Chains A and B, each alone.
Chain A
C-alpha cells in the first residue's frame, strides 16, 4: 500500500492575482529551529514590502487581524495539535513516528522523532502546565478545552464565506489550513479533537476547498480511497510540521519568483510513476534544499529550467534525475 510519502509543504501567499508557492519544508536534517513566533511578523513584513511594488489585497486592518488570529492559533490550538501528534502515545507510536522515521536517513530516524516529541511535551508543559494544574491529565483537559473553543471561534469568524478575507486565500487561510488539515484528515487512533472539528462543517468545507484547488496532483492516480487519504494526510502533516520547524521563511519568500497564476497541467501519471517522481524529488531536495526550492510538485513550467540548472550545479547523474527529465519531456 502506498505508505508514507513526502511532498513539499507549500505556504501560499496571495497578492492580487499572483500566486506562488513559498518555500518548502523538509524534515530539518541539520537543525530543528522553531521559529513560529517570528514567522507571522515576517510574513506580514513581507506583505507590507510588497506594497511598494503593487497593491496588496489585504487592507491594513485585515493584516492586523491576520496577526491577531495567528497569535490566537498559536496560543490556543497549537498545544492541542502538538499533543495529538507528538505526545499522545497511541497517535505518536502508530502514526507520527513511522511517517517521519521512514523518510529520515538512519540513524537520524532513531533520534529526531524522539527529540521532536520531547520538545513538544516540554513546550506544552512550560507554557500551559502551570499551577494550579499539577497533573498532565489536567493540563491535557485544559488544552483540549482551549482548542475546542478556538475552533469554535474560527468557525464563527469564517461564517459562510469561502476564505477568511473574502474570495481569495491569504496567509491566514494557509496558516489555518496548516493547522486544521492534519487534524481533519489524518486517521488517528485517538481523535477527540478531530470529532469536534468534523462537527464544524464550514471549517471542513474550507479544508476540502483548499485541498481540491491546491493539492490536485497529489490526488491523481490513486484507485482506492484509502491510499488517497493516506497520501493527502501525509502531505498535510508535513505542512503542519513545517509550521513548527521551518526556519527563516522570510528571506526565502522574498527570493521566490513571482509567477503568474498557474494552471496545474493535466499530467497523468500512473501510481508507480508518481511514486518514483516523489522519490526522485525528495532525493534531490534532500541534497540541496535551496536549489530545489522553486521546484514545485505540480510540474508546472518552472520545473524545466530548474531541473537543468540543478543538474548542472549538482553535477549529478542519477536515475532520479533522468527520471525527472523524462517526465518533463513527456509533459511538455
Chain B
C-alpha cells in the first residue's frame, strides 16, 4: 500500500508544471488559515501573519480565507498556505522562493554577507520564538487545559475534538523531546525567549527595519511573531511581558502595522 502511494508520487511529482515564472500574480490569490476567532493557535497565527506581512510588503494582493481543516489541506501539513493560480505553496520559506520565481523579491538589494545574516536571524526566530510558542501552547499544562485543547478541536464534534487535540499534543511533545526541549521548564523557555528578543533588539538598534531602509522577509517574520505574542491573550502574560521590555521592537511592530496594515491606531497595548 505504501509502496503504491510512493510509486504514484514518484510518477506524478515530476510532471507538475514548474512554469511559475511565466504567469503574473493573479488577482484571486488566496491564503488559507484556520478559523480566526475560535480555532487558530498562537504559533499558527504568527506564521500566517508573517506571510501576510511579507505579501503586503511585496505589494501582492492576497485574500485570507479561514477554513477549519486548513492544516489538512496544506501540502506540508503546516499553515498558512497560499493558493495561486494552480500552485499551492505552504510556509514562509517556500512562499518567499515562489514569489521570487515570479519576479518579486525583497532581499535582492542585500549583499552575500547580509543575506547570510538574514537567513541566520530567520533561523533564530524559528528556532527560539516558534519553538517557545509551541512549547507554551502544548507543553505547559495550564495553557493546554484552558486554551489550546478547547480551541484546537472546536470546529469538530465530540469526541473528535478531544482526539485530534491529544494527537497533536503527543506529536508536538515528541518533537520537543527530540530537540531537547522536553525537559525544559517554563522559566527556561521564557529566558530563551528573552535572549532571542534581546538579540533581535540589538540587531535592530535604531534602524526602521532590520536591513536599514527596506523591509525584508526577516522583518515580516519577526513582525508576525512579535505582534501575535503582543496581542494574544494567554493564561499568563509573561511571554508578552518579555517582548515588551524592548521598546525598539514595540516601535518596530507598530510601524509595520500602521504602514502595511493601514490601521489608524495601533492595537498594541502599552501597559
Contact = CB atoms under 8 A, between A and B. Distances in A.
Interface of A: 33-38, 40-41, 44-45, 60-61, 63-65, 67-69, 71-72, 74-76, 119, 122-123, 126-127, 130-132, 134-135, 153-154, 156-157, 159
Nearest to A156: B112
Contacts of A130: 76-78
Contacts of A156: 112-113, 115-116
A34 B181 CA distance: 9
Given A130-B77, A156-B112, A41 B192 contact: yes
Contacts of A34: 179-180
Contact of B128 (A36, A45, A69, A71): A71
B119 A153 contact: yes
B202 A153 contact: no
B176 to A, nearest CB: 9
Given A122-B178, A126-B179, A153-B115, 5 more contacts: A38-B180, A41-B192, A65-B117, A153-B120, A157-B117
Contacts of B200: 64
Interface in B78-122: 78, 112-113, 115-117, 119-121
A44 B194 CA distance: 12
Nearest to A45: B195
A268 B181 CA distance: 45
A262 B183 CA distance: 38
A123 B195 CA distance: 24
A134 B6 contact: yes
B199 A67 contact: yes
Given A37-B181, A75-B126, A64 B191 contact: no
Instruction: Tell me the dominant secondary structure on chain B's binding face.
Output: helix
Instruction: Tell me the dominant secondary structure on chain A's binding face.
Output: helix
Contacts of A119: 178
A71 B123 contact: yes
A68 B199 contact: yes
Contact of A44 (B75, B76, B121, B195): B195
Interface in B209-254: none
B182 to A, nearest CB: 9
A258 B94 CA distance: 47
Given A135-B6, A156-B112, A63 B202 contact: yes
B194 to A, nearest CB: 9
Given A67-B195, A69-B120, A74 B127 contact: yes
B77 to A, nearest CB: 5
A45 B188 CA distance: 12
A38 B188 contact: yes
A123 B192 contact: no
A134 B195 contact: no
A135 B115 CA distance: 31
B203 A75 contact: no
Instruction: List the 8 closest pairs (A to B, CB-CB), nearest first.
Output: A64-B199, A71-B124, A68-B120, A153-B116, A72-B120, A34-B180, A71-B127, A64-B202
A257 B199 CA distance: 28
Contacts of A126: 174-175, 178-179
A153 B181 CA distance: 27
A123 B269 CA distance: 39
A41 B124 CA distance: 11
A36 B200 CA distance: 20
B205 A61 contact: yes
A76 B123 contact: yes
Nearest to A135: B6
Contacts of A67: 124, 195-196, 199
A71 B116 contact: no
Given A75-B127, A122-B178, A131-B76, A68 B184 contact: no
Contacts of A76: 123
B198 interface: yes
A33 B121 CA distance: 26
A123 B9 CA distance: 25
Contact of A41 (B113, B126, B195, B205): B195
Nearest to B74: A131
Nearest to A119: B178
B127 A157 contact: no
A64 B196 CA distance: 8
Nearest to B78: A130
Nearest to B116: A153
Given A41-B191, A75-B126, A127 B119 contact: no
Contacts of A135: 6
A93 to B, nearest CB: 23
B179 A63 contact: no
Contact of B192 (A38, A60, A65, A154): A38
Instruction: With a 10 A CB-CB cut-off, give which of B6, B123, B174 has the most chain A CB atoms.
Output: B123
B178 A123 contact: yes
B203 A134 contact: no
Contact of A61 (B179, B183, B184, B203): B203
A41 B113 CA distance: 23
A246 B181 CA distance: 15
Contacts of A72: 119-120, 123-124
Given A37-B179, A157-B116, A131 B75 contact: yes
Instruction: With a 10 A CB-CB cut-off, give which of A63, A68, A132, A153 has the most chain B CB atoms.
Output: A68
A69 B5 CA distance: 39
A34 B9 CA distance: 36
Contacts of B198: 64
A63 B199 contact: yes
